[in-house]
Amino acid sequence: MKENDFVKNFALQFDETDPESISLSTNFKDLEEWSSLVALSVMAMVDEEYGVRITADDFKNSSTLADVFETIKKRL
Amino acid sequence: MFSLQDKRFLVTGGSSGIGRQISIHLGQQGAQVTLVGRNLERLQNVTAEMKDGNHKCFSFDLTKQNEVAAFIKQQIPFDGIVFNAGIVDYLPIKFMSDEKINKVFDVNFKGAVLLCQQLIKNKLITKGGSLVFISSISSKLGIPGTALYAASKAAICAYSKVVASELAAQKIRANCICPGIVITPMTANAEDVSTTSLEDAEKEYPLGYGRPEDVSALVTYLLSDESRWMTGTDLILDGGLTLK
Ligand SMILES: NC(=O)c1ccc[n+]([C@@H]2O[C@H](COP(=O)([O-])OP(=O)(O)OC[C@H]3O[C@@H](n4cnc5c(N)ncnc54)[C@H](OP(=O)(O)O)[C@@H]3O)[C@@H](O)[C@H]2O)c1
Protein backbone atom coordinates (compact mmCIF):
# COMPACT_ATOMS: atom_id res chain seq x y z
CA MET A 1 0.00 0.00 0.00
CA LYS A 2 1.54 3.28 -1.13
CA GLU A 3 1.12 6.44 0.93
CA ASN A 4 0.57 8.56 -2.17
CA ASP A 5 -2.19 6.35 -3.50
CA PHE A 6 -3.87 6.28 -0.11
CA VAL A 7 -3.88 10.10 0.12
CA LYS A 8 -5.24 10.31 -3.43
CA ASN A 9 -7.99 7.77 -2.71
CA PHE A 10 -8.87 9.52 0.54
CA ALA A 11 -9.05 12.92 -1.18
CA LEU A 12 -11.30 11.44 -3.90
CA GLN A 13 -14.03 10.95 -1.33
CA PHE A 14 -14.44 14.73 -1.07
CA ASP A 15 -16.24 16.69 -3.78
CA GLU A 16 -15.74 20.30 -2.71
CA THR A 17 -12.33 20.13 -1.07
CA ASP A 18 -9.22 20.78 -3.21
CA PRO A 19 -7.36 17.43 -3.33
CA GLU A 20 -4.08 19.38 -3.27
CA SER A 21 -4.96 20.61 0.21
CA ILE A 22 -5.05 17.07 1.57
CA SER A 23 -1.86 15.37 2.72
CA LEU A 24 -0.79 12.73 5.23
CA SER A 25 -0.56 15.37 7.94
CA THR A 26 -4.06 16.82 7.34
CA ASN A 27 -6.42 16.75 10.32
CA PHE A 28 -9.27 15.40 8.23
CA LYS A 29 -12.00 15.95 10.82
CA ASP A 30 -11.25 19.70 10.68
CA LEU A 31 -12.05 19.83 6.95
CA GLU A 32 -15.28 21.69 6.34
CA GLU A 33 -16.65 18.97 4.09
CA TRP A 34 -15.99 16.09 6.54
CA SER A 35 -19.35 14.45 7.30
CA SER A 36 -20.80 11.08 8.19
CA LEU A 37 -21.31 10.38 4.48
CA VAL A 38 -17.68 11.21 3.63
CA ALA A 39 -16.65 8.99 6.55
CA LEU A 40 -18.79 6.17 5.13
CA SER A 41 -17.22 6.73 1.70
CA VAL A 42 -13.72 6.44 3.17
CA MET A 43 -14.72 3.20 4.90
CA ALA A 44 -16.11 1.81 1.63
CA MET A 45 -12.99 2.96 -0.29
CA VAL A 46 -10.67 1.27 2.25
CA ASP A 47 -12.72 -1.93 2.02
CA GLU A 48 -12.69 -1.86 -1.79
CA GLU A 49 -9.04 -0.87 -2.29
CA TYR A 50 -7.33 -2.63 0.62
CA GLY A 51 -9.85 -5.26 1.78
CA VAL A 52 -9.69 -3.81 5.30
CA ARG A 53 -12.64 -2.85 7.53
CA ILE A 54 -12.30 0.40 9.44
CA THR A 55 -14.97 1.80 11.75
CA ALA A 56 -16.21 5.12 13.09
CA ASP A 57 -14.16 4.41 16.22
CA ASP A 58 -11.00 4.30 14.12
CA PHE A 59 -11.78 7.83 12.92
CA LYS A 60 -12.46 8.90 16.48
CA ASN A 61 -9.05 7.58 17.49
CA SER A 62 -7.24 9.26 14.57
CA SER A 63 -6.35 12.88 13.90
CA THR A 64 -4.49 12.80 10.61
CA LEU A 65 -4.56 10.74 7.43
CA ALA A 66 -1.28 9.20 8.60
CA ASP A 67 -3.06 7.81 11.67
CA VAL A 68 -5.71 6.16 9.47
CA PHE A 69 -2.96 4.88 7.14
CA GLU A 70 -1.22 3.21 10.12
CA THR A 71 -4.48 1.58 11.26
CA ILE A 72 -5.04 0.11 7.82
CA LYS A 73 -1.43 -1.09 7.57
CA LYS A 74 -1.81 -3.00 10.83
CA ARG A 75 -4.86 -4.82 9.44
CA LEU A 76 -3.49 -5.69 6.01
CA MET B 1 -56.96 -9.84 25.47
CA PHE B 2 -56.61 -11.97 22.35
CA SER B 3 -55.44 -15.55 22.39
CA LEU B 4 -52.77 -17.27 20.36
CA GLN B 5 -53.14 -20.51 22.26
CA ASP B 6 -51.97 -23.50 20.22
CA LYS B 7 -51.61 -21.47 17.03
CA ARG B 8 -48.59 -22.36 14.94
CA PHE B 9 -46.22 -19.63 13.80
CA LEU B 10 -43.00 -19.45 11.84
CA VAL B 11 -40.48 -16.71 12.68
CA THR B 12 -37.48 -16.12 10.44
CA GLY B 13 -34.41 -14.65 12.12
CA GLY B 14 -35.65 -16.02 15.44
CA SER B 15 -32.13 -16.37 16.79
CA SER B 16 -31.45 -12.73 17.59
CA GLY B 17 -32.79 -9.29 18.43
CA ILE B 18 -36.37 -8.59 17.33
CA GLY B 19 -37.05 -12.13 16.04
CA ARG B 20 -35.87 -13.63 19.31
CA GLN B 21 -38.27 -11.42 21.26
CA ILE B 22 -41.15 -12.13 18.86
CA SER B 23 -40.59 -15.87 19.36
CA ILE B 24 -40.47 -15.56 23.15
CA HIS B 25 -43.57 -13.36 23.19
CA LEU B 26 -45.53 -15.81 21.01
CA GLY B 27 -44.42 -18.69 23.24
CA GLN B 28 -45.69 -16.79 26.28
CA GLN B 29 -49.08 -16.50 24.61
CA GLY B 30 -49.35 -20.25 24.24
CA ALA B 31 -48.38 -20.47 20.57
CA GLN B 32 -46.17 -23.14 19.05
CA VAL B 33 -43.27 -21.44 17.37
CA THR B 34 -40.88 -22.60 14.66
CA LEU B 35 -37.74 -20.49 14.57
CA VAL B 36 -35.31 -20.31 11.66
CA GLY B 37 -31.89 -18.71 11.21
CA ARG B 38 -28.42 -19.80 10.22
CA ASN B 39 -26.86 -20.28 13.64
CA LEU B 40 -28.26 -23.43 15.29
CA GLU B 41 -26.72 -22.78 18.69
CA ARG B 42 -28.30 -19.34 18.99
CA LEU B 43 -31.66 -20.75 17.85
CA GLN B 44 -31.46 -23.48 20.46
CA ASN B 45 -30.62 -20.95 23.15
CA VAL B 46 -33.79 -19.02 22.30
CA THR B 47 -36.02 -22.13 22.29
CA ALA B 48 -34.49 -23.12 25.65
CA GLU B 49 -35.54 -19.72 27.01
CA MET B 50 -39.10 -20.07 25.74
CA LYS B 51 -42.11 -21.11 27.75
CA ASP B 52 -43.18 -24.74 27.60
CA GLY B 53 -44.67 -25.68 24.29
CA ASN B 54 -43.89 -27.50 21.15
CA HIS B 55 -41.28 -25.10 19.75
CA LYS B 56 -38.89 -26.10 17.00
CA CYS B 57 -35.89 -24.61 15.33
CA PHE B 58 -34.26 -25.20 11.96
CA SER B 59 -30.94 -23.75 10.90
CA PHE B 60 -30.50 -22.91 7.25
CA ASP B 61 -29.63 -20.01 5.01
CA LEU B 62 -32.67 -18.28 3.54
CA THR B 63 -30.64 -17.31 0.48
CA LYS B 64 -30.02 -20.98 -0.43
CA GLN B 65 -33.07 -22.29 -2.23
CA ASN B 66 -32.16 -25.99 -1.82
CA GLU B 67 -32.03 -25.46 1.96
CA VAL B 68 -35.37 -23.61 1.92
CA ALA B 69 -36.94 -26.46 -0.09
CA ALA B 70 -35.62 -29.08 2.35
CA PHE B 71 -37.09 -27.13 5.26
CA ILE B 72 -40.46 -26.73 3.53
CA LYS B 73 -40.74 -30.50 2.99
CA GLN B 74 -40.75 -31.11 6.74
CA GLN B 75 -43.50 -28.60 7.61
CA ILE B 76 -47.23 -28.74 8.33
CA PRO B 77 -49.43 -25.63 7.91
CA PHE B 78 -48.81 -22.46 9.93
CA ASP B 79 -51.36 -19.92 11.16
CA GLY B 80 -48.93 -17.10 10.60
CA ILE B 81 -45.45 -16.21 9.40
CA VAL B 82 -43.15 -13.43 10.58
CA PHE B 83 -40.69 -12.53 7.83
CA ASN B 84 -38.14 -10.90 10.07
CA ALA B 85 -34.67 -12.11 8.99
CA GLY B 86 -32.66 -9.28 7.54
CA ILE B 87 -29.26 -7.68 7.23
CA VAL B 88 -28.10 -4.10 6.99
CA ASP B 89 -25.21 -2.72 4.95
CA TYR B 90 -24.24 0.91 4.83
CA LEU B 91 -22.84 2.05 1.51
CA PRO B 92 -22.75 5.40 -0.32
CA ILE B 93 -24.32 5.16 -3.76
CA LYS B 94 -21.00 5.59 -5.57
CA PHE B 95 -19.75 2.29 -4.09
CA MET B 96 -22.66 0.12 -5.18
CA SER B 97 -22.01 -3.00 -7.19
CA ASP B 98 -23.90 -6.01 -8.48
CA GLU B 99 -22.40 -8.03 -5.62
CA LYS B 100 -23.41 -5.51 -2.94
CA ILE B 101 -26.96 -5.25 -4.29
CA ASN B 102 -27.32 -9.04 -4.26
CA LYS B 103 -25.92 -9.35 -0.75
CA VAL B 104 -28.68 -7.17 0.72
CA PHE B 105 -31.55 -8.09 -1.62
CA ASP B 106 -30.86 -11.84 -1.42
CA VAL B 107 -31.73 -11.83 2.28
CA ASN B 108 -34.08 -8.88 2.77
CA PHE B 109 -36.14 -9.25 -0.38
CA LYS B 110 -35.58 -12.58 -2.13
CA GLY B 111 -35.23 -14.47 1.16
CA ALA B 112 -38.74 -13.43 2.20
CA VAL B 113 -40.34 -13.58 -1.25
CA LEU B 114 -39.11 -17.07 -2.14
CA LEU B 115 -39.93 -18.50 1.28
CA CYS B 116 -43.42 -17.03 0.97
CA GLN B 117 -43.76 -18.52 -2.52
CA GLN B 118 -42.84 -21.99 -1.23
CA LEU B 119 -45.22 -21.71 1.73
CA ILE B 120 -48.12 -20.69 -0.48
CA LYS B 121 -47.41 -23.17 -3.25
CA ASN B 122 -47.24 -26.00 -0.74
CA LYS B 123 -50.42 -24.80 1.01
CA LEU B 124 -48.60 -24.28 4.28
CA ILE B 125 -50.58 -21.22 5.37
CA THR B 126 -53.99 -21.88 6.90
CA LYS B 127 -57.16 -20.08 5.81
CA GLY B 128 -57.42 -16.93 7.93
CA GLY B 129 -53.64 -16.90 8.44
CA SER B 130 -51.55 -13.77 8.87
CA LEU B 131 -48.26 -12.77 7.26
CA VAL B 132 -46.15 -10.07 8.90
CA PHE B 133 -43.19 -8.54 7.10
CA ILE B 134 -40.63 -6.61 9.13
CA SER B 135 -39.60 -3.71 6.93
CA SER B 136 -37.99 -0.53 8.31
CA ILE B 137 -38.67 3.17 8.66
CA SER B 138 -35.56 3.57 6.49
CA SER B 139 -37.77 2.56 3.55
CA LYS B 140 -39.63 5.88 3.93
CA LEU B 141 -36.66 8.15 4.62
CA GLY B 142 -33.50 9.10 2.80
CA ILE B 143 -30.79 8.43 5.35
CA PRO B 144 -27.39 8.71 3.61
CA GLY B 145 -25.68 5.37 3.13
CA THR B 146 -28.86 3.28 3.44
CA ALA B 147 -29.91 3.13 -0.23
CA LEU B 148 -29.66 -0.66 -0.63
CA TYR B 149 -31.19 -1.45 2.74
CA ALA B 150 -33.97 1.13 2.30
CA ALA B 151 -34.75 -0.04 -1.24
CA SER B 152 -34.88 -3.70 -0.15
CA LYS B 153 -37.27 -2.77 2.67
CA ALA B 154 -39.43 -0.58 0.40
CA ALA B 155 -39.59 -3.52 -2.00
CA ILE B 156 -40.92 -5.72 0.79
CA CYS B 157 -43.62 -3.14 1.62
CA ALA B 158 -44.74 -3.05 -2.01
CA TYR B 159 -44.59 -6.84 -2.28
CA SER B 160 -46.64 -7.31 0.86
CA LYS B 161 -49.51 -5.22 -0.53
CA VAL B 162 -49.78 -7.44 -3.58
CA VAL B 163 -49.63 -10.54 -1.38
CA ALA B 164 -52.48 -9.07 0.67
CA SER B 165 -54.63 -8.65 -2.39
CA GLU B 166 -53.78 -12.00 -4.02
CA LEU B 167 -54.48 -13.95 -0.82
CA ALA B 168 -57.52 -12.05 0.41
CA ALA B 169 -59.86 -14.64 -1.11
CA GLN B 170 -58.36 -17.19 1.27
CA LYS B 171 -58.74 -14.70 4.14
CA ILE B 172 -54.96 -14.67 4.48
CA ARG B 173 -53.76 -11.21 5.51
CA ALA B 174 -50.40 -9.51 4.93
CA ASN B 175 -49.07 -6.44 6.70
CA CYS B 176 -45.75 -4.67 7.04
CA ILE B 177 -44.20 -3.11 10.12
CA CYS B 178 -41.71 -0.26 9.65
CA PRO B 179 -39.78 0.12 12.90
CA GLY B 180 -37.42 2.94 13.76
CA ILE B 181 -34.24 2.12 15.69
CA VAL B 182 -34.63 -0.75 18.13
CA ILE B 183 -31.57 -1.67 20.15
CA THR B 184 -30.41 -5.13 18.98
CA PRO B 185 -27.15 -6.69 17.75
CA MET B 186 -27.97 -5.08 14.37
CA THR B 187 -27.69 -1.56 15.80
CA ALA B 188 -24.13 -2.32 16.89
CA ASN B 189 -23.45 -2.46 13.16
CA ALA B 190 -24.79 1.07 12.76
CA GLU B 191 -22.57 2.25 15.58
CA ASP B 192 -19.52 0.94 13.76
CA VAL B 193 -20.12 3.13 10.74
CA SER B 194 -21.78 6.22 12.16
CA THR B 195 -19.77 9.21 13.28
CA THR B 196 -22.79 10.36 15.30
CA SER B 197 -23.13 8.36 18.51
CA LEU B 198 -26.30 6.31 19.01
CA GLU B 199 -26.89 8.35 22.15
CA ASP B 200 -26.93 11.63 20.19
CA ALA B 201 -29.10 10.18 17.43
CA GLU B 202 -31.68 9.10 20.02
CA LYS B 203 -32.52 12.80 20.52
CA GLU B 204 -34.36 12.59 17.17
CA TYR B 205 -36.83 10.15 18.76
CA PRO B 206 -39.54 11.86 20.84
CA LEU B 207 -40.16 8.58 22.69
CA GLY B 208 -36.56 7.39 22.55
CA TYR B 209 -35.41 4.21 20.81
CA GLY B 210 -37.65 1.15 20.73
CA ARG B 211 -37.21 -2.16 22.47
CA PRO B 212 -37.74 -5.53 20.77
CA GLU B 213 -40.89 -5.89 22.97
CA ASP B 214 -42.41 -2.85 21.26
CA VAL B 215 -42.24 -4.66 17.92
CA SER B 216 -43.32 -8.06 19.26
CA ALA B 217 -46.45 -6.51 20.83
CA LEU B 218 -47.61 -5.29 17.42
CA VAL B 219 -46.65 -8.58 15.77
CA THR B 220 -48.77 -10.59 18.21
CA TYR B 221 -51.74 -8.34 17.47
CA LEU B 222 -51.26 -8.74 13.71
CA LEU B 223 -51.02 -12.52 14.08
CA SER B 224 -54.17 -12.70 16.16
CA ASP B 225 -57.73 -12.88 14.86
CA GLU B 226 -58.41 -9.50 16.51
CA SER B 227 -56.74 -7.88 13.51
CA ARG B 228 -58.91 -9.84 11.04
CA TRP B 229 -59.92 -6.67 9.15
CA MET B 230 -56.40 -5.31 8.75
CA THR B 231 -54.51 -6.17 5.59
CA GLY B 232 -52.16 -4.53 3.10
CA THR B 233 -50.94 -1.84 5.50
CA ASP B 234 -47.52 -0.43 6.37
CA LEU B 235 -47.51 0.27 10.09
CA ILE B 236 -45.03 2.86 11.26
CA LEU B 237 -43.61 2.09 14.69
CA ASP B 238 -40.94 4.66 15.37
CA GLY B 239 -41.35 6.41 18.72
CA GLY B 240 -42.44 9.53 16.87
CA LEU B 241 -39.31 9.91 14.70
CA THR B 242 -41.30 10.79 11.59
CA LEU B 243 -43.42 13.40 13.42
CA LYS B 244 -40.58 15.87 12.97
N1 LIG C 1 -32.86 -3.14 14.99
C2 LIG C 1 -33.40 -2.14 14.36
O3 LIG C 1 -33.18 -0.98 14.70
C4 LIG C 1 -34.34 -2.40 13.20
C5 LIG C 1 -35.10 -1.32 12.72
C6 LIG C 1 -35.97 -1.53 11.66
C7 LIG C 1 -36.08 -2.78 11.08
N8 LIG C 1 -35.32 -3.81 11.56
C9 LIG C 1 -35.48 -5.11 10.90
O10 LIG C 1 -35.85 -6.08 11.87
C11 LIG C 1 -35.35 -7.37 11.49
C12 LIG C 1 -34.60 -7.97 12.66
O13 LIG C 1 -33.50 -7.13 12.98
P14 LIG C 1 -32.64 -7.24 14.33
O15 LIG C 1 -32.32 -5.87 14.74
O16 LIG C 1 -33.30 -8.17 15.27
O17 LIG C 1 -31.30 -7.88 13.72
P18 LIG C 1 -30.35 -9.04 14.21
O19 LIG C 1 -30.28 -9.09 15.70
O20 LIG C 1 -29.09 -8.87 13.44
O21 LIG C 1 -31.11 -10.37 13.70
C22 LIG C 1 -31.21 -10.70 12.35
C23 LIG C 1 -31.75 -12.11 12.23
O24 LIG C 1 -31.82 -12.49 10.85
C25 LIG C 1 -31.22 -13.77 10.68
N26 LIG C 1 -30.64 -13.87 9.34
C27 LIG C 1 -29.83 -12.98 8.71
N28 LIG C 1 -29.44 -13.45 7.52
C29 LIG C 1 -30.04 -14.67 7.37
C30 LIG C 1 -30.03 -15.66 6.34
N31 LIG C 1 -29.32 -15.50 5.21
N32 LIG C 1 -30.75 -16.79 6.53
C33 LIG C 1 -31.46 -16.98 7.67
N34 LIG C 1 -31.50 -16.08 8.67
C35 LIG C 1 -30.80 -14.95 8.53
C36 LIG C 1 -30.17 -13.83 11.77
O37 LIG C 1 -29.87 -15.14 12.13
P38 LIG C 1 -28.44 -15.86 11.80
O39 LIG C 1 -27.38 -14.82 11.92
O40 LIG C 1 -28.35 -16.97 12.78
O41 LIG C 1 -28.63 -16.33 10.41
C42 LIG C 1 -30.88 -13.13 12.93
O43 LIG C 1 -31.68 -14.03 13.65
C44 LIG C 1 -34.50 -7.13 10.25
O45 LIG C 1 -35.24 -7.44 9.09
C46 LIG C 1 -34.20 -5.65 10.30
O47 LIG C 1 -33.94 -5.11 9.03
C48 LIG C 1 -34.46 -3.64 12.60
Containing structural domain, residue A16 = 3-75
Q: What phi and psi values does residue B201 have, to the nearest 5 degrees?
A: -65, -25
pLDDT for res B191: 82
Nearest to A37 among B145, B191, B192 (CB): B145
Is B201 in a helix, a strand, or coil? helix
How do B32-37 and B56-59 pair as beta strands?
A: parallel
Specify whether B205 is catalytic: no
* Contact call for residues B43 and B238 (beta carbons, < 8 A): no
* Contact call for residues B181 and B167 (beta carbons, < 8 A): no
Using the Cβ of A56 and the Cβ atoms of chain B, whether some distance falls under 8 Å is answered with: yes
Contacts of B94 in chain A (CB under 8 A): 41
Dihedral sign (CA B214, B215, B219, B222): positive
pLDDT averages per 10-residue partition of chain B, 244 residues: 90 98 96 98 97 92 98 98 97 96 98 98 98 98 96 98 98 98 90 85 95 98 97 98 92
Q: Which of A43, A50, A61, A68 to mutate to test the interface with B (most CBs of B within 10 A)?
A: A43
- C-beta B129 within 6 A of ligand 1: no
What distance in Å separates the CA atoms of residue B220 and residue B24, rounded to the nearest whole number? 11
pTM listed for this prediction = 0.96
* Contact call for residues B144 and A40 (beta carbons, < 8 A): yes
Whichever domain contains A9, its CATH number is 1.10.1200.10
What distance in Å separates the CA atoms of residue B134 and residue B132, rounded to the nearest whole number? 7
How do B234-237 and B173-179 pair as beta strands?
A: parallel
For chain A, the domain total comes to: 1
Mean pLDDT of chain A: 95
- C-beta B186 within 6 A of ligand 1: yes
**CA-to-CA separations, B193 to A39, B92, B99, B190, in angstroms, rounded:** 8, 12, 20, 5
* ipTM higher than threshold 0.85: yes
Query: pLDDT tens digits, residue range A35-70?
Result: 999 999 999 999 999 999 999 999 999 999 999 999
pLDDT for res B1: 62
Q: What phi and psi values does residue B112 have, to the nearest 5 degrees?
A: -75, -45
